[in-house]
């Protein structure tokens, strides 16, 4: 079974995320054993950010890595596992608020595709880049 990074690379619509993960130097970490839960913003989610936002981050890998780590939690959490949880602790350390019903939502993002299994965790595709705070 492919890992989280391999799935993102081979799936259409995640080129910005893959470029960002590469620029931030997180490829190796996200290819590791984990397991991780990744809330993966698609290309449309990145395109919604105002102009310049992504460029400034790509130019500054540690800052970009911090934002990306906010999209990752330890452990493989499927939608049904998350039904009991109000939040997950992100690798950035800030909490990620989660709601499963009526819609599956992560902070201010909506999950477009849930429970994509990878060898080292679970991916949930989201429609908005989430930010701490």
Partner 1 sequence: MLPDTPDNLKQIIGIYKAYAVPMDFYWRDLLYIAEQVFLNPLPAFKYFISKDYLDRDNAYSGDNAALRIWRGGGDAHPELREFMAKGESDRKLPKLLHHLWHDRVNMEFAEACMQAMLWHEDINPKFNAYLDSDEYRANSDRAIRAYFKGNPVMLGLYKLFPEMFHEQVKRLSYYSNLGLFWEVMAPVFFEMSDLYDEGKLTSVPAAMDFLVNGIFAIAGRPIYHHAYIKGECYEIIPKSQGFTWLYEAALPYVEAVFYRTAPFRGTKSYNAQARQVPPEQKDFHYGILYADVFPVGSAGIPPTLLMQDMLHFLPDYLIEEYSQHGRGEDDSLIQLGVTFQRSMYNVTSAVIQALRCALLYPLDDPNPEHLKANRAFFEQNLDRFKRPEARLQDIQDQSYR
User: Which residues sit at the interface with partner 1, rule CB under 8 A?
Assistant: 49-53, 55-57, 59-60, 62-67, 107-108, 131-133
Query: How far apart are the C-alpha atoms of 81 and 2, rounded to whole Å?
Result: 22
Residue (10 or 108) nearer to partner 1, CB = 108
Q: How far is the CB of 7 from partner 1 (least distance, A)?
A: 26
Q: How far is the CB of 92 from partner 1 (least distance, A)?
A: 9
3-class SS at 97?
strand
Q: How far is the CB of 101 from partner 1 (least distance, A)?
A: 11
Residue 23: in which H helix or E strand, if any?
Answer: helix 15-23
Residue 56: in which H helix or E strand, if any?
Answer: helix 53-58
Query: How far apart are the C-alpha atoms of 16 and 20, rounded to whole Å?
Result: 6
Residue (45 or 76) nearer to partner 1, CB = 45
Residue (21 or 122) nearer to partner 1, CB = 21
């Amino acid at each position: 079974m492919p890992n989280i990074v391999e799935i993102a690379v081979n799936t259409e619509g995640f080129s910005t995320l893959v470029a960002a993960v590469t620029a931030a130097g997180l490829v190796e970490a996200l290819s590791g054993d984990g397991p991780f839960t990744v809330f993966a913003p698609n290309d449309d989610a990145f395109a919604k950010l105002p102009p310049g936002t992504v460029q400034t981050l790509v130019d500054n890998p540690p800052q970009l890595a911090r934002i990306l780590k906010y999209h990752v939690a330890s452990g493989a959490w499927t939608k049904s596992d998350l039904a009991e949880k109000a939040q997950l602790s992100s690798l950035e350390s800030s909490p990620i608020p989660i709601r499963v019903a009526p819609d599956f939502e992560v902070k201010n993002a909506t999950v477009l595709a849930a429970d994509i299994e990878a060898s080292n965790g679970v991916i949930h595709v989201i429609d908005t880049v989430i930010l701490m705070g």
